[in-house]
Chains A and B, each alone.
Chain A
């Protein structure tokens, strides 16, 4: 029964990983750049949510209503300025810039917010759960986070497939130069993509902050890694693959933890390496054409 429980808990946490990963995957699909500050941005969002709650005294659950739009705007502005300037030089420059941003964010948080752990207090909601059978308990929070992840991915799917800006994002991802001569301002499209990536990672960071303790270093040490693994396992450029990747990663970690608590992360990495060996294009990815 404990194995079934591990799988169920893995599925629940997988939604959170997918929420972390979808922005990373989108940015990579559109501009071929991995944002190494992605995990740190999630942690910054969690801290900002703490601050919003402290100042406005709104219930913590609603902090995302402020933080997510702010991060979306921040994403657009950063993309049109810093990231675009680095992209104009080269992809490698952009990678270095996001790495530098990651270092700045992490150390800035350590400097000004201390290395202490925090969590976003949502009261008794964090431990509320219901039972399925005698052995399996499902926490409402985990279930809600999974549902939010699915809703966000559905929304993103709808946006990409059925709106004008979504269509332009797909066109730029297919062939940036062809999009330019068709009249598309790809810089604006990059900005919209970054806004989505920042908004979703902020949501993921807040959800993580409710569900677990966080500190300034966890963004790079865990969140970026998990997001990256979820993307690779699921296959680059596929939203549903990312959800599948997040869930598989969650299951692997839960099974690892079931064997020995310290093996949780290790089991996830082993699955990641296994996928890279046997199916490097990921679950849903197509093989790169030569």
Chain B
């Protein structure tokens, strides 16, 4: 994956089994958000492919990937500020799949939203905006939900409340891949964490099996961390395991012209 002439990701492969939560951690500029945006279809990988339940979605536009079952809650919420709460959720229906989540379901999940659905999104607090952004992604009934930096700019108590929703999302059949700068938060909620450093995965494994020293060295690139698979369906490039929800492979070997979608 290239950002203009800059190679942002190098040979990153990962597989997320259906119904689980995986987290990407890493320092600023490690490529976490680029990875999520590539899976969502906002960037095109130079090489490699993205499989959703074994189906190649690499060539699809972002909206087609939503229809296929990949939805993202973007970094910074990215609500439509001049639209009301309800209108923001309605936009999420544009390529929605049939499934358990409806706008009413989102209102049941966040009780305050029903009363304030007529308010403009710009008038909401950061935590409320994050809830609407999650709702907007949920109503599309994704198979895989990508969460980019949920905690950014939010009070710790709000962050805990939002991450407290994950069990409910998983119960509705969603698979979650999240990016989080708050490492302790990621270790708390994820079944498996992947650590990115300068566009490469330097460590992956179950949080319980990783020592703080391992994480630290993978995060900051001090010394060499040993890879820890622990028997999970991990790091299998191009895997076709039926229980694999999403596989991301992005190997680069040639420069591409700057893409219009690049930030």
A171 and B63 contact, Cβ closer than 8 Å, known pairs A183-B96, A184-B91:
no
CB pair A181–B80 under 8 Å, yes or no, is no
- Whole-angstrom CA separation of A90 from B87 in the bound complex: 30
CB pair B80–A171 under 8 Å, yes or no, is yes
CB pair B78–A175 under 8 Å, yes or no, is yes
Instruction: Name the B residues within 8 Å of A181 (CB-CB).
Output: 40-42, 62, 66, 71-72, 74, 78
Instruction: Name the B residues within 8 Å of A212 (CB-CB).
Output: none
Please tell me which one of the listed residues B61, B78, B90, B93 contacts residue A178 in the complex, with CB atoms under 8 A apart.
Answer: B78
Overall SS of chain A's interface: helix
- Whole-angstrom CA separation of A174 from B81 in the bound complex: 7
- Whole-angstrom CA separation of A155 from B209 in the bound complex: 62
CB pair B78–A170 under 8 Å, yes or no, is no
- Whole-angstrom CA separation of A186 from B92 in the bound complex: 13
- Whole-angstrom CA separation of A181 from B94 in the bound complex: 10
CB pair B62–A180 under 8 Å, yes or no, is yes
Instruction: Name the B residues within 8 Å of A88 (CB-CB).
Output: 260
- Whole-angstrom CA separation of A186 from B71 in the bound complex: 16
Instruction: Name the B residues within 8 Å of A167 (CB-CB).
Output: 83, 87, 90-91
Contact with B along A75-93 (1 / 0, CB 8 A): 0000000000000111000
Nearest-Cβ distance from residue B64 to partner chain A, whole angstroms: 8
Q: How many A-B residue pairs have CB under 8 A?
A: 80
- The B-contacting residues of A in range 165-201, CB under 8 angstroms, are 167-168, 170-171, 173-175, 177-186
B32 within 8 A of A: no
CB pair B61–A182 under 8 Å, yes or no, is no
Q: Which residue of B lies closest to A187 (CB)?
A: B61
Candidate in B63, B74, B79, B93 with the most chain A CB atoms within 10 angstroms: B63
Nearest-Cβ distance from residue B70 to partner chain A, whole angstroms: 9
B181 within 8 A of A: no
Instruction: Name the A residues within 8 Å of B95 (CB-CB).
Output: 183-185
Instruction: Name the A residues within 8 Å of B92 (CB-CB).
Output: 182-183
- Whole-angstrom CA separation of A181 from B73 in the bound complex: 8
- Whole-angstrom CA separation of A174 from B136 in the bound complex: 15
Instruction: Name the B residues within 8 Å of A186 (CB-CB).
Output: 63
Instruction: Name the A residues within 8 Å of B16 (CB-CB).
Output: none
Instruction: Name the A residues within 8 Å of B93 (CB-CB).
Output: 183
Candidate in A178, A179, A182 with the most chain B CB atoms within 10 angstroms: A182
B261 within 8 A of A: yes
CB pair B80–A179 under 8 Å, yes or no, is yes
- Whole-angstrom CA separation of A170 from B71 in the bound complex: 20
Q: Which residue of A lies closest to B64 (CB)?
A: A185
- Whole-angstrom CA separation of A183 from B141 in the bound complex: 11
- Whole-angstrom CA separation of A89 from B257 in the bound complex: 11
Q: Which residue of B lies closest to A91 (CB)?
A: B260
- Whole-angstrom CA separation of A170 from B121 in the bound complex: 13
Q: Which residue of B lies closest to A90 (CB)?
A: B260
Please tell me which one of the listed residues B40, B72, B91 contacts residue A171 in the complex, with CB atoms under 8 A apart.
Answer: B91
B67 within 8 A of A: yes
- Whole-angstrom CA separation of A177 from B77 in the bound complex: 12
B82 within 8 A of A: yes
CB pair A185–B91 under 8 Å, yes or no, is no
Please tell me which one of the listed residues B80, B83, B94, B260 contacts residue A183 in the complex, with CB atoms under 8 A apart.
Answer: B94
- Whole-angstrom CA separation of A88 from B260 in the bound complex: 7
- Whole-angstrom CA separation of A183 from B60 in the bound complex: 12
- Whole-angstrom CA separation of A123 from B140 in the bound complex: 57
- Whole-angstrom CA separation of A180 from B42 in the bound complex: 8
Please tell me which one of the listed residues A90, A175, A185 contacts residue B80 in the complex, with CB atoms under 8 A apart.
Answer: A175
Nearest-Cβ distance from residue A29 to partner chain B, whole angstroms: 11
Nearest-Cβ distance from residue A105 to partner chain B, whole angstroms: 27
Q: 10 smallest A-B Cβ distances: which pairs?
A: A183-B95, A183-B66, A178-B78, A174-B80, A183-B94, A180-B62, A184-B94, A171-B91, A171-B80, A181-B72
Given contacts A179-B91, A184-B94, could you give 9 more A-B pairs where the C-beta distance is less than 8 Å? A171-B80, A179-B94, A180-B62, A180-B63, A181-B78, A183-B93, A183-B94, A185-B61, A185-B94
Which of B's residues lie within 8 Å of A, judged by CB? 40-42, 61-63, 66-67, 71-72, 74, 78-83, 87-88, 90-96, 136-137, 140, 260-261
Which of A's residues lie within 8 Å of B, judged by CB? 88-90, 164, 167-168, 170-171, 173-175, 177-186
